Chain A
Amino acid sequence: MNLFKLRGGVHPQGRKELAEKHAIRQLPMPERLFVPLQQHVGAPAQPLVRVGDQVLKGQLIGAGQGFISAPVHAPTSGRIAAIGDFSAAHPSGLSSPTVTIEADGLDNWLPTRSVDDPFALSPEEIANAVGAAGIVGLGGATFPSAVKLSLSRKNNVHTLIINGGECEPYITCDDRLMQERAAEIIEGVRLIRYAVGATRVMVGIEDNKPVALREMQAAAAGTEVKIVAVPAMYPMGWDKQMIRALTGCEVPADGRTADIGMLVHNVATAFAVRDAVRFGRPLVSRVLTVSGGAIATPANLQVPIGALVEDLFSFCGGFSQKPARMVLGGPMMGVELFTAAVPVVKGTSGVLALTQQEIGSTQAAPCIRCSNCVRACPVGLLPLELAAHIRSGDSGAAVSRGLKDCIACGCCSFVCPSHIPLVHYFNFAKGELMEQERGKLKQSATKILAEERLARIERIERERLEAAAKRKAAREAKKRAEQMSKMEVA
């Protein structure tokens, strides 16, 4: 198949060799699981259990609220030990509402209902099953999948693209999943296609994963699913990049992929969809990669949601040397972890323990205008110019030059010979802008409140006056009536 020309991107050292040969193993059930109620984009789930409750594996413990939200299920059977704040997988070290489960070691499933022929279900039923299973984008975006499905149906999506572009260095979980569970993934892909009514379906896999390509091709033979090898580069896994590579189309800057009739899902999501629709099993575990130069034995693990990162590290034999940095996710876009006592969530594709050598030096020097960053940016921005605007405090100019289009992929920082933390600047400026906008919203909210209050006071005043007038009228009427009756009497 013809591939389309791509722009920008970098070729970081893959470092996938650390983990790619290791088959997926099951993490032994930890004694305690810490399941955050917010593991997705949108509103957090509402807890449905109380401390002391017994739960079964797959039982609903948090209900999704609102249109964009996802439910949360118990990843194993056991007792609810606590519901409260626990440090979340976020660099701020902020905590979020979390359900703590004491595993009973039995790992008993809630009785689930299997479907023999999932294609006999209606598309709505499939979307509902996906929503009830709490599936979110497992590539890291964690957008509730059911919402995406129903939006896609509304927008008449014609092309389904499955993203097998696992472009982050070190991370190999999707690669392993494709190698080991190709048939299941293809079934999931076909279910999604059926659910949205797409006519074309393509799986893009980077050509540095030959085994995965072969397995997926074999599994897709004779189906409507087309497997396409795409060049290995970062950020191939950016959904818009994948769309451009496979179709040559561009998503409008102000639009969504659905606007041009396309839907992108990740391979791991397709796998989870199949589990949910065929076996009624909610998303309670995921495959992720534990890797990095400081890990004794890197691995790809099937991990229950809520397991602590430190559990993963100790299962992998601990550290071979003191890690200089722990990272949640891949090295290009992942966030630094200050503590390993944070739980794995649905969107966790990997945890890394990196050595200083792997991170590289961080001493920043002045910009030499070498345009490495310009050539690397897949979006077509001028990172050096944006950074200059931000440094001089002019984020307005940065916005007019596309700051909001920046996807924080890190390509520019990666190639900068002066080691300027460009992404840091951009995230900082974006954060500031968000603050400002929130401030503006707050201001307008206050204004609305104030206006409402004024209106209320006016209304009350008016009502009081009206009431007084009525009373007065009534009094006068009464007086008149009395006078009249007096007159009659007289």
Chain B
Amino acid sequence: MKTIAHSPHAHAPVTVSRVMLTVMLALLPATLYGFWIYGWPAFNIWVVTLLAAVIGEAFVLRLQQRPVRPVLSDCSGLLCAWLLAISLPPWTPWWIALLGSWFAVIIAKHVYGGLGQNPFNPAMAARVMLLISFPVEMTTWIAPLDSAHAPGWLQGLAVTFTGAQVDGMASASLLGHVKTEFTRGIELQQALAGYYAPLQALWGNRAGSMGETAALLLLAGGLFLIARRIITWHAPVAMLVGVFVPSLLFSSINPVHYAGPLYHLLSGGLILGAFFIITDPVTSPNTATGQLIYGLCCGLLTWIIRTWGGYPEGVAFAVMLMNAATPFIDHYVKPRIYGRNRKGDSVSLEPVKKGA
């Protein structure tokens, strides 16, 4: 018997893979820029991470005796690996990328039941796991290359796969540097002097993860996603506000001890986090209001961890904490139903004069 086709008999031209591919497209400029400033090793890490994700995902699907192709073709695994790759130190050894990638797709995603079921953002979960387990490898940054020091392709392979060193490249990330200087009792202004120029930060031309630092390109990618209606402005804007407001407040009270908003907004993974990580649909709340709360808390937590926490960067931790709060937010923040009040009772016969 023929089954009844249900209405609607039309569909918007969206598919999961199209959504994921659009996000990847938005990430492309920042990623290419990362390759350019950090050289071949960065590219190698990116390739290893993505490949590992595909292999890892295919492996678990086989294990569960589920069809491999439809799941792989939704591209969510690739996107997750991409996000992880660009938040790794670009010259990190290959096995870090491999471990992180497998952790992300196998443990953080498929163990929970696959796409849509994972409570934590897999890329951030993997990053946090790596940071805790391999603190040295995860915090060894390099300064942007100049052509004199740029390793060739073969040398790049050596850096990634044999851990070869190239002299004079190691450097600290901005947030890490400031934190270290603080612990040595050096004041903020001094710590920043010669190490920080906002314009440079805008371009991301400094030490950091391969894709995180290019604030401007990431911002452009994020705006592109908003324009394409893949994400909405709520969570990103709220997160930026969540960092901006306290940093402005504290730095104007005590500029010697607290860094200003510009420093915070352009540092570390904030822009990446705001536009690409906390907008991950699976692990964020469902409603606009929920996303505002979620974004705001992500921002606040990020700032708190950066300012008072033991780690220089707080985005990944903040996101994980708020991931855990998402079901809670979704439970309490629900849209009002037409003709009913927020409690779900029918509105009185008095006309409701407000829109939604």
Contact = CB atoms under 8 A, between A and B. Distances in A.
Interface of A: 4-8, 10, 12-13, 91-92, 169, 240, 244, 247-255, 259-260, 325, 327, 331-336, 338, 352, 354, 358-363, 365-372, 374-375, 377-382, 384-385, 400-402, 405, 408, 410, 413-419, 421, 423-424, 427
Nearest to A377: B335
A8 B355 CA distance: 11
Contacts of B352: 248-250
A325 B9 contact: yes
B11 A249 contact: no
Given A368-B16, A380-B337, A380-B356, A252 B348 contact: yes
B12 A408 contact: no
A240 B326 CA distance: 32
Given A382-B334, A415-B14, A374 B115 contact: no
A248 B353 contact: yes
Given A252-B347, A366-B115, A417 B14 contact: yes
A145 to B, nearest CB: 23
26 contacts: A91-B4, A240-B339, A249-B351, A250-B352, A252-B347, A253-B337, A325-B5, A327-B7, A331-B10, A336-B6, A336-B7, A365-B70, A368-B19, A371-B287, A379-B338, A380-B335, A382-B286, A382-B334, A405-B338, A410-B8, A413-B6, A413-B8, A414-B10, A415-B14, A419-B15, A423-B6
B9 A352 contact: yes
Contacts of B286: 369, 371, 374, 382, 384-385
Contact of B346 (A6, A255, A421): A255
Contacts of B184: none
Contacts of B353: 248-249
A151 B215 CA distance: 63
Residue of B7, B282, B340 with highest tally of chain A CB at under 10 A: B7
A434 B53 CA distance: 47
Nearest to B355: A5
A120 to B, nearest CB: 34
Given A260-B349, A374-B287, A367 B116 contact: yes
B175 to A, nearest CB: 31
Contacts of B115: 365-366, 368
B281 interface: yes
A368 B76 contact: yes
B257 interface: no
A370 B235 CA distance: 13
Given A260-B351, A380-B336, A415 B9 contact: no
A76 B29 CA distance: 69
Given A366-B115, A382-B335, A405-B338, A250 B15 contact: no
A335 B349 contact: no
A31 B114 CA distance: 59
Contacts of A381: 335, 337
Residue of A352, A360, A421 with highest tally of chain B CB at under 10 A: A360
Contact of A12 (B12, B348, B355): B12
Given A369-B116, A414-B8, A423-B6, A402 B348 contact: no
Interface in B25-84: 70, 74, 76
Nearest to B6: A424
Contact of A252 (B12, B13, B349): B349
B135 interface: no
A489 B281 CA distance: 112
B8 to A, nearest CB: 4
B9 A334 contact: yes
Contacts of B337: 253, 379-381, 402, 405
B15 to A, nearest CB: 6
Nearest to A417: B14
B177 interface: no
Given A374-B335, A421-B6, A365 B16 contact: yes
Nearest to A170: B10
Given A92-B4, A249-B352, 5 more contacts: A249-B351, A250-B339, A331-B7, A331-B8, A379-B337
Contact of B10 (A169, A252, A418): A169
Contacts of A354: 9-10
A359 B282 contact: no
Contact of A338 (B2, B74, B349): B2
B10 A332 contact: yes
Nearest to A413: B8
Interface in B201-254: 232
B281 A369 contact: yes
A402 B344 contact: yes
A95 to B, nearest CB: 17
